Amino acid sequence: MSTLVQETAPSTYKEGFHDDDIKARHKVPKGASHEVIDYMCDVKGEPDWMRAFRHRSLDLFLKATLPAWMPGLRDIDYDAITYYASPIDKSANKWEDVPEEIRKTYDKLGIAKEEQKMLGGLGAQIDSEMAYHNIQETLSKKGVVFLSCDEGMKQYPEIFKEHFAKSIPPEDNKFAALNSAFWSGGSFVYIPKGVKCDVPLSVYFRINAEQFGQFERTLIVCDDDSFCHYVEGCSAPVYTTNSLHAAVVEIFVKERARCRYTTIQNWSTDVYNLVTKRAFVYGKGIMEWVDGNLGSKRTVKYPSVYMLGEGAHGEVLSLASADKGMWQDAGAKMVFMAPNCTARINSKSISGHGGRASYRGLVQVNPQATNCRVQVNCDALILDASSRSDTYPVMEVDGDLVTVEHEASVSSVSDEQLFYLTSRGIKKEDAVSMIVNGFIEPIVKELPMEFAVEINRLINMQMEGSVG
Amino acid sequence: MTDSLEIIDLHAKIEEREILKGLNLTIRKGEVHAIMGPNGSGKSTLANTIAGNPKYTVTSGEIRMNGENILGMEVDERARKGLFLAFQYPCEVPGVRTSNFLRLACNARAGKELDVMEFYDKLEKKMKHLEINDAFMKRYLNEGFSGGEKKRNEILQMMMLEPEYAVMDETDSGLDIDALKIVSEGVNKLRGPNLGVLIITHYERILRYIKPDFIHILVGGKIVKSGGADLAAHLEEHGYDWITKDVTPTPVSA
């Protein structure tokens, strides 16, 4: 299962460095076992119900099979993976308290500088634990809670228990079961009624260990009439072996609240990225997923919105860029469970250097969901003949008076556009990058400025030498 | 020859079909030339070949700009050296803001990062000349532009890039009379000792507003007649038939 680094990793991946100074304080034997779960529960001091939940989830994981359509995951060697590794003793809320060797890594990634951006809070996870977590005082005074998920369970047990695993139970799928068994880190966010959190809460995930499994778990509850924007980014060193990232993100958007969740996924090309993301949205609530997938070996991820209350709105803006050695299987699920709901899926994918991008989408309108409307748009840009793009849309409509619109397009960088731009003195590679950036502009313009710049930087690096 | 764009015995083809069959033309700086010709005579092929469109292949002949053969150069290199083509059908580039595109193009032409404030000052002035409103710059390049807006955008680019030689490929087509006047006025402002212009057109109309120094008639991939501004009026009155009858041993290719 190991491949040569040169084959899998584009040389342009700037986040692929190793930091050997970082050592796990707690390291467990490889493999997904009940012993590892007991060890984690002891170290974390977890309540008995969680211990039981983890053991039950592991049994489900071991029994679960992969659906036949799931792409290219059969070569994952679960026994070679380490399921828990913590390079810290406790989470810090001041940078000075973060161990020096970890701070160095974050400095190289520019994470410490992130704080200077317009953020309401910042978290940073390394391997299994959150090394840093901090929130602006103005927000905490309003009652906004932004903690690691482990801390959330300890400090807000009632909110936690009411929502945890309620939208994504361990039975949902094999990787949700795996996460439920070994979850560690991730964020716990609670936005009280009526509170608008205008600046984003941001979290950065780093895998440092080799052949490692990162299973962060995020739970966001936006109470009635509130708003929050959560942004996550990630990266990993380049190894010759594979790592696993199987996160679970659960979001509850209560009445008339709005939540936007933005992902800029930039894993190295030896990471399997298998994530379950789901939002339950109540009356007139709005959920928006902005899902940017720019890295990883395989990504299997379909952020979903379950519209449970009347007049709810769901939105997925999906951006996938599949470069050499990558297969982005991304998309969205919109499930209508109540009348007068609306949803929009806008997916843009780019494949180049032999990469493959697939759009997989589900629109499900249940009988009680009358008078609903959904618009699906998916556009693919293929940069060369060795690259590939597929679309797998599924529509199941049982409700009445439902409007479903679906549009799809596949294009390449046209000779006319290249001639036009180069005839103005612009070099060919810059012209290609302009066209590609223009293609993704409708999604990128939805991002806060700093993150838009980051997406453009990553895409431009992948574009290097893509059209000959 | 320095200070001129010389086309010497140019033969060019597209998809194995020879369109230009030994074309000769010299445009000195300070001069405005017009090439007129019926459909299929090779007008657009000439414009595209000068700019270096890779769809067209030059089989023999030369194009020299200020004495230097440009046929071995890429499209962008020709442009940076001062060649400009105003497109007959400017293409749409979704998601790319017109202002960003123009700034990159101007930086490329200048060979350095231009001062942003200076760039926008200049842009604002040129836009006023062409009666283009501010919202235009925020729109995506040519996307959803009317025919007239696209052509105005071409002239704006020409004004911003300050070429040494400009080829205008049927700039008048699809323009109403008001837009034609504005566009022509723009070109007239640019006229001067540092610019050579080649206007390619089917109709004489534009030549009422931009007075050329020379008119050439292109038929069957060759220039068959050259003369002064009065040649246009003659064409308008009599059409192209008298020329094709007059000169053709070579049949007009499609």
Residue A95 is given by DSSP the state: G
Q: Do A415 and B55 touch (CB under 8 A)?
A: yes
Q: What is the distance, to the nearest Å, from the Cα of residue B59 to the centroid of all Cα atoms in its chain?
A: 22
Residues of B in contact with A435 (CB under 8 A): 93, 96
- As a whole number, mean pLDDT of residues A407-427 equals 94
Contact present, B167 and B196 (Cβ < 8 Å): no
At residue B216 the predicted structure's pLDDT band, cuts being 50, 70 and 90, is: very high
pLDDT band, very low/low/confident/very high, at B249 (cuts 50, 70, 90): very low
> Helix B98-110 vs helix A428-444: angle between axes, to the nearest 10 degrees?
160
Q: Is residue B252 part of a domain?
A: no
Assigned domain for B162 exists? yes
How many Å apart are CA A131 and CA A152, to the nearest integer?
15
Round to whole Å and give the CA distance between A385 and B96.
Answer: 25
Q: Is A441 on the interface with B (CB under 8 A)?
A: yes
Cα nearest neighbour of B160 on chain A: A424
Angstrom distance (rounded) from CA B8 to CA B1: 12
pLDDT of residue A106: 83
Structure tokens at A152: 């959330």
Interchain contact B96–A (C-beta under 8 A):
yes
List of chain B residues whose C-beta atoms are within 8 Å of the C-beta of residue A439: 94-95
Residue A377 to chain B, least CA–CA distance (Å): 16
- Give residue A240's pLDDT: 84
The pLDDT value given to residue A303: 98
CA distance B240 to chain A (A): 31
- B139 falls within a domain: yes
* pLDDT tier at A121, thresholds 50, 70, 90: confident
The rounded distance, in Å, linking the Cα atoms of A176 and A178 is 5
For the stretch A40-51, pLDDT in tens is 999 999 999 999
Is the pLDDT at A114 greater than 70, yes or no?
no
A169: Cα separation from own chain's centroid: 18
> How high is the mean pLDDT of chain A?
90
Is the residue at B211 inside a domain?
yes
What is the pLDDT at residue B253?
Answer: 44
How far, in Å, CA of A237 to CA of A206, rounded? 9
Task: Tell me whether residue B135 is in a domain.
Answer: yes
Chain B contact for A171 (CB, 8 A cutoff): no
- pLDDT category at A16 given cuts 50, 70, 90 is confident
Cβ A435–B51 below 8 Å, yes or no? no
Residues whose CB falls within 8 Å of the CB of residue B16, separated by 6 or more in sequence, listed in order: none
- The b-or-e profile of A160-178 (16+ CB within 10 A means b, else e) is beebbbebbebebbbbbbb
| Pick from A76-80, A156-160, A176-180: least confident | A76-80
Cα gap B106→A178, rounded to integer Å = 55
Position A282, amino acid: Y
Containing A293, the helix (H) or strand (E) segment is: strand A286-293
Q: Which of A169-173, A217-221, B124-128, B134-138 has the lowest mean pLDDT?
A: B134-138
**pLDDT interval class at A3 (50, 70, 90):** very low
* Chain B CB within 8 Å of residue A435 CB: yes
What is the band of A465 on the pLDDT scale with cuts at 50, 70, 90?
Answer: low
**Residue of chain B minimizing CA distance to A428:** B76
Contacts of B162 (CB under 8 A, 6+ apart): B109
The widest CA-to-CA distance across chain B, in whole angstroms, is 58
ipTM of the complex: 0.94
Q: Is A354 on the interface with B (CB under 8 A)?
A: no
Contact flag B54-A427 (C-beta cutoff 8 Å):
no
pLDDT digits (tens, 9 = 90+) for B86-138: 999 999 999 999 999 999 999 999 999 999 999 999 999 999 989 898 888 88
- In chain B, the number of structural domains is 1
Q: Tell me whether residue B232 is in a domain.
A: yes
- CA distance linking residue B198 with residue A23, whole number of Å: 71
Residues of A within 8 A of B52 (CB-CB) are 423
Q: Tell me the average pLDDT across B36-45.
A: 91
**H or E stretch at A295:** none
Q: For residue B184, what is the DSSP state? A: H
Nearest to B223 by CA among B4, B17, B5, B42: B42
Q: Measured between alpha carbons, how far is B213 from B228 in angstroms, rounded to an integer?
A: 6
Q: Which residue has the tokens 């350095």?
A: B112
CA of A441: which chain B residue's CA is closest?
Answer: B95
Please tell me the distance from the alpha carbon of residue A436 to that of residue A294, in angstroms, as a whole number: 14
How far is residue A342 from each of residues A30, A267, A306, A373, measured CA to CA in Å? Answer: 46, 33, 11, 5
pLDDT tens for A253-309 read 999 999 999 999 999 999 999 999 999 999 999 999 999 999 999 999 999 999 999
Q: What is the mean pLDDT of residues A455-467?
A: 74
CB nearest to B109's CB, from A425, A438, A442: A425
**Residue-level pLDDT at A23:** 80
Q: Give the pLDDT score at A338.
A: 97
List beta partners, residue A289. Answer: A261, A316
Q: Using one digit for the tens of pLDDT, what is the confidence trace for A53-81?
A: 999 999 999 999 988 888 778 889 999 99
Asked if pLDDT for residue A82 goes beyond 50, the answer is: yes
Please say if the pLDDT value at position B251 is more than 60.
Answer: no
CB atoms within 10 A of CB B147: 14
Amino acid at B33: H
CB contact under 8 A, B54 and A415: yes
DSSP letter assigned to residue B206: G
Give residue A467's pLDDT. 54
pLDDT in tens, B149-206: 999 999 999 999 999 999 999 998 888 888 899 889 989 999 999 999 999 998 888 9
In chain A, the N- to C-terminal Cα span, in Å, equals: 31
Does residue B89 lie in a domain region? yes
Q: How many CB atoms lie within 10 A of CB A402?
A: 18
Using the Cβ of A428 and the Cβ atoms of chain B, whether some distance falls under 8 Å is answered with: yes
Question: Under a CB-based contact definition with an 8 Å cutoff, are residues A204 and A124 in contact?
Answer: yes
Q: In this structure, what token pair is assigned to residue A341?
A: 């709901």
How far apart, in whole angstroms, are the C-alpha atoms of residue A403 and residue B215? 60
Instruction: Kindly determine whether residue A420 and residue B90, on different chains, have CB atoms separated by under 8 Å.
Output: yes
User: Helix/strand/coil (H, E, C) string of A384-425?
Assistant: CCCCEEEEEEEEEECCCCCEEEEEEEEECCCHHHHHHHHCCC
Closest Cβ–Cβ partner in A416, A426, A440 for B108: A426
The answer to whether residue B252 scores a pLDDT higher than 60 is no
Q: Is a pLDDT exceeding 90 seen at residue A249?
A: yes
- Residue B93 sits at the chain A interface (C-beta within 8 Å): yes
Which range has the worst mean pLDDT, A373-387, A444-458, B81-95, B114-128?
A444-458
Rounded (to 5) percent helix, strand, coil in chain B: 35, 25, 35
In which domain, by residue range, is B144 found?
Answer: 4-247
Across-strand partners of A328? A299, A357
Alpha helices by DSSP H, listed for chain B, are: 43-51, 75-80, 98-110, 116-129, 135-138, 147-161, 177-190, 230-238, 241-247
Average pLDDT over residues A26-52: 93
pLDDT at residue A446 tops 80: yes
pLDDT for residue A97: 87
Residue B242 distance to chain A (closest CA, Å): 36
Q: Is B253 contained in some domain? A: no
Identify the CATH number of the domain in which residue B206 sits.
3.40.50.300
